[in-house]
Chains A and B, each alone.
Chain A
Amino acid sequence: MADEPTPSYVAGEIPNGSVTAALIRDLEAAVGKRYVLSTPDELLLYEYDATIDRARPQIVVLPETAGQVAAAVRAARRFDMPVIPRGAGTGISGGALAATGGVVVALTRMRRIIEVDSENRIAIVEPGVVNLDLSKAVAKHGLYYAPDPSSQRACTIGGNVAENAGGPHTLAVGSTTNHVLGLELVLADGTVIWVGGRTRDLPGYDLAGAFVGSEGTLGIATKIAVRLMRMPESTRTLLAIFNRIDYASNAVSAIIAAGIVPSALEMMDRMIIHAVEQALHCGYPLDAEAVLLIEVDGLEESTAEQSEDIDRICRDSGAREVRLAVKQADRELLWAGRKSSLSALGRYFPNFYVLDGVVPRTRLVEVLRASNAVAEKYGLAVANVFHAGDGNLHPNLLFDERIPGTTVDVLQAGAEIMRLCVDAGGSITGEHGVGLEKRDFMAWLFDDADMAAMSSLKVAFAAGERFNPCKAFPTHRGCGEVSVANAQRVSARLGEDVYV
């Protein structure tokens, strides 16, 4: 392969006031004065996402069209300023933070559903469309958009594309990448092009596939062609309660071994059970160690057969109780505990830190134990609520930032748990991205040659180092001081609007 280019750009060189003022004038000309923000008050909202880090951009611009995005990108380029694409800011890897300052391109005004082709089960949307709004909009055709991150009421499709977002229902239908057919992109030089399209078989390299999950480092998607799915005629939800987490985990393996791929297979541990029971009175026994939430969908005949099999497998694996819901209202009750698990924890701990690691399904119990031991070592409480079916762990470290030194312990414990996932043959992220937070863990998974090959995409897209710098890949020159120079570590607070 050709030699690595040296990044031309040294992060941390914040431009002076006159440069910023000139850039603001250009941006105002491109998108209108109202949609360029630069006062400290206005910027406040854009200096954080749902992680522990925070970093303030110099400017936020809110374009409404691809042309305006292109103009903003060109203007930032003229002043050699970083460009940070941003959706709803619900990410938990720091992907939308202006790590070295720069211009945040917030895409929340681009929220048109441009076209719904129900016959061909395709929609063309703008990046700022909220995930759940798309499913709502196409429901009248009996269709839905399958990837369902837990933040789907707030997160945007553009953000989902950047992080290759997942959700509880990716077990059977895959992540965002499996549902994106093509993208209109604004590249670093302001060019607007399409990669992929409405069909899968366009000649050429799968650039759309390469773009999904590139964390805003290759370009900005301004239109997204997504695949829609037909709503199943029948859905059945089961809730199985176990006295031991090993039993629950064995049940997960046994369901898969029986040739059943449920549409969702979620696990909650004792800490979650307690919190949820106190808050919602779902009828979870307080001496239970694990609850599995299992959903199957498809033909009535399939879901009936599969839910009977799952019921039997859970009982054979030691479930003390299995509940079944068929009607939508009853199913929602079973999901209620899962969906409110993090907000329920807020009663006990003011702060949390959610991790996103993946292990092979067969290593779940062992990694859970080891990860709980890490938390214990640091004197931290941990609650696990996660996508057991695909081995996607979400340990939530719970703490109170007012106790000095705790935040440092939390980050250290988080790193150790990520390492456990890697050592078990897994990954440092299943659905939230590497972002700012985990870039230094990349070397646990990928060597220099792996990352050099990946960097060829940056060259191919001519992205340079100004698109979302310091994200997704380990520190290059200048990024090391991000957290010291520009980012201030604060703790995310538990509350109503937190998700995992």
Chain B
Amino acid sequence: MSEPTVASRVDDFVAAISQLQLHASGAQPFEIDGLESVVSVAPESLAQVQKCLTEAHSSALRVAAVGSGAHLQLGNIPEALDVALSTGRLHRIVAHEPADMTVTVEAGVRLADLQHALAEHGQFLPLDPPGADRATVGGILAANVSGPLRHRYGTARDWLLGTRVVHADGSTSKSGGRVVKNVSGYDMHKVYVGSLGTLAVITEVTFKLAPLPKVDCTLAIASPSAAAAQSIISAGHERGLAVIGAELLSPTAASAVCDRGAWTALLRIAGGGAAVARTLDELHDYAALAEGESAEVPGAWDRWRAVFGPADLSLRVSVAPSDAGSIAENLDRRFVGDAAQISATSTAGLVRINLAPADDARAPAIVDHVREIAVERGGVAIVDAAPLAVKQLIDVFGPPRSDIEIMRRLKQRLDPERLLSPGRFVGRI
């Protein structure tokens, strides 16, 4: 007897979950790298997520968890996609304890909605990745995306206290907890961060929170060179000034983000009034020293997030912070003809480059070039977005490292049938 077809297995799946009436919710199909989900489901409770995954598991269907769809361009091309499991209806804020500075939310809560609720209590979750206007908390974790606030606040893992997940077979587990300090058990939640849904589906998350700064303003310092702009960022960092976001923008990026046509240090200055005042004073001095022109640019971060969302070709280079400025300059020089826009969170050693090559055929060569530059400095380059034809030719993560076998065994253990976004992760896990 031949294997049942995907279509018949999907029919079985749909029949099995029909009692949940998830179809009535009007869940949209999702597309990842040209693969369109055969069926979309939008469960609204942990039990429903479990039921969906249990049934998908018994029908051997391949599942991708999807939040808002803001990060679907990440990762290698999945081998198959049968079921898109949307977390969009898991949108409750489960518990916010302002005095504990912790919040527990379902994975489908949009970051923007969460920030709005937290702001009423003078708090926020210090994450601001591109796509933050619509991205869900679960999606941000699974994609491990970060934004300019990384300069001061680190990445999602630094704020994550615990998760609940549903595994490929429909079972559920949690790790961590809801208190700000906790070392009981292995920190499983660390491996789910950035796993692109290949290990489990995140359903609930607890974060610690930060107080919203009293004063918050943004300064753009247009400078004669990348090195000059970088020197201002470095000086502020060395002095411990009240800077919570610091991006080094290439002239094309600065033009789109804050109407400067030069290498620009875009700085978010925040804290108490006196600390902010002194920080502005000192930064103006550093700007003068570097022959830069400074101006306050309200609204620049919204534009930054729009500009540094996924482009035709988006790459992320990770190197030592001391190399970030020169790499940004090097990339700009080399890819000026490809409409490169560059933004470096230089203090974290992260350089983003968005390109619009005139010809897709150039893209693989660009990827190779960028990777070469990164590797020369002991770093790595990851392709965050590329045309399908390009993704078919490359591994977006580059060659795996010596710890790949541990990762494979982890995948094998948690999802032995390879049902969760197979092929999408590092080493095509």
Residues of the B chain whose Cβ atoms lie less than 8 Å from the Cβ of A212: 187
Q: How large is the interface on B (under 10, 10 to 19, 20 to 34, 35 or more residues)?
A: 35 or more
Given contacts A194-B401, A205-B407, A362-B97, contact A429 B318 (CB under 8 A): no
Which of A32-40, A103-111, A395-403, A454-462 faces chain B? A454-462
Chain B CB within 8 A of A279 CB: no
Residues of the B chain whose Cβ atoms lie less than 8 Å from the Cβ of A164: 183, 187
User: Which of A204, A253, A298, A427 contacts B99 (CB under 8 A)?
Assistant: A253
Residues of the B chain whose Cβ atoms lie less than 8 Å from the Cβ of A427: 177, 179, 181-184
Chain B CB within 8 A of A58 CB: no
Q: Which residue, of B100, B214, B237, has the highest number of chain A Cβ atoms within 10 A?
A: B100
* B348 lies within 8 A of A200 (CB): yes
Q: How large is the interface on A (under 10, 10 to 19, 20 to 34, 35 or more residues)?
A: 35 or more
Which of B13-21, B128-136, B192-200, B386-394 faces chain A? B192-200
Residues of the B chain whose Cβ atoms lie less than 8 Å from the Cβ of A6: none
Residues of the A chain whose Cβ atoms lie less than 8 Å from the Cβ of B273: 305
* A257 lies within 8 A of B98 (CB): yes
- In the assembled complex, the Cα of A349 lies from the Cα of B249 at a distance in Å of 63
Chain A CB within 8 A of B402 CB: yes
- In the assembled complex, the Cα of A120 lies from the Cα of B178 at a distance in Å of 33
* B122 lies within 8 A of A259 (CB): yes
Taking the closest CB of chain A, its distance from the CB of B384, in whole angstroms, is 11
Residues of the B chain whose Cβ atoms lie less than 8 Å from the Cβ of A122: 320
Taking the closest CB of chain A, its distance from the CB of B360, in whole angstroms, is 23
Interface residues of B in 141-176 (CB under 8 A from A): 154-155, 157-158, 165, 167-169, 171-175
* B403 lies within 8 A of A207 (CB): yes
User: Which of B380, B413, B425, B427 contacts A456 (CB under 8 A)?
Assistant: B413
- In the assembled complex, the Cα of A232 lies from the Cα of B275 at a distance in Å of 13
Chain B CB within 8 A of A96 CB: no
* B181 lies within 8 A of A166 (CB): yes
* A426 lies within 8 A of B179 (CB): yes
* B173 lies within 8 A of A450 (CB): yes
Taking the closest CB of chain B, its distance from the CB of A156, in whole angstroms, is 17
Residues of the B chain whose Cβ atoms lie less than 8 Å from the Cβ of A2: 412-413, 416
Chain B CB within 8 A of A452 CB: yes
* B275 lies within 8 A of A205 (CB): no
* A193 lies within 8 A of B211 (CB): no
Interface residues of A in 94-144 (CB under 8 A from B): 117, 119-122
- Chain A contacts to B: CB under 8 angstroms: 1-2, 117, 119-122, 163-164, 166, 170, 174-175, 177-178, 193-195, 198-207, 209-210, 212-214, 230, 232-233, 253, 256-257, 259-261, 298-299, 301-302, 304-306, 358-362, 387, 390-392, 425-434, 438, 442, 445-447, 449-454, 456-457, 459-462, 472-473
- Chain B contacts to A: CB under 8 angstroms: 97-102, 122-123, 154-155, 157-158, 165, 167-169, 171-175, 177-188, 190-191, 193-195, 199-200, 210-212, 214, 237-242, 271-275, 277-279, 316, 318-322, 348-350, 378-380, 382, 397-398, 400-404, 406-407, 409-410, 412-414, 416, 425-427
